[in-house]
Amino acid sequence: MTEERWTAVDDYLTDMLAPADDALAAALADSDAAGLPAIGVTPPQGKLLNLLARTQGARTILEIGTLGGYSTIWLARALPADGRLISLEYNPAHADVARANLARAGLDTRVEVRTGAALDTLPRLADEGAGPFDLVFIDADKPNNPRYVEWSLRLTRPGSLIVLDNVVRGGAITDATSTDESVRATRELFDLVARDPRLDATAIQTVGAKGYDGMLLARVVD
């Protein structure tokens, strides 16, 4: 199996189960035009996030890593009319693109995009008494993922769901001698999740248009 085949299957799954509408297509087009890196979730993954949020009955969602707002749209569409989503984005230019994409999708009253380093923004959320969030989606700089999970635990409740993208690193997570900062942090993340009694978790390997990687899902327990 090759990445070409994986991409063809992703295209088929997208056409059958997660077809783009005008807002989603425009979000991708405008993100590309603005020069944002093509590192967001695929359409089937976006639909998965939407289904997870709906199954969770989420009314409040925290997203760490907005990029152009494509995954944000999928998540926000799962919320009820009075639900809210806070998305944290380090790059102000990316945040501007996301805000425009969310406004065009009619979701700007439901979503707030905050700029700045997430490790600065997360403590402010805690100080404000934000949350507890029903679902947290983490898809930002990988070296800080262990810290993002620690903060997510402060901002969630028993029954909340924490989802992290890009946790397989092309299979490199099995390499205990890796010097890659993202791989080392991901291994630390797995150690943290595996030993924390507040989390019940699994991870799945994925292939598709973005190559070989995986997602981790962790439910917060009593």
Q: What distance in Å separates the CA atoms of residue 90 and residue 114, rounded to the nearest whole number?
A: 8
Does pTM surpass 0.95?
yes
Percent of the chain clearing pLDDT 90 (strictly above): 97
Domain boundaries in the chain? 3-220
Residue 1 pLDDT class (50, 70, 90 cuts): confident
Torsion angle (degrees, nearest 10) of CA 29, 162, 11, 4: 100
Strand 161-165 to strand 135-138: parallel, antiparallel, or no bridges (unpaired)?
parallel
The CATH number of the domain covering residues in 3-220: 3.40.50.150
Per-residue model confidence as pLDDT tens digits over 162-191: 999 999 999 999 999 999 999 999 999 999
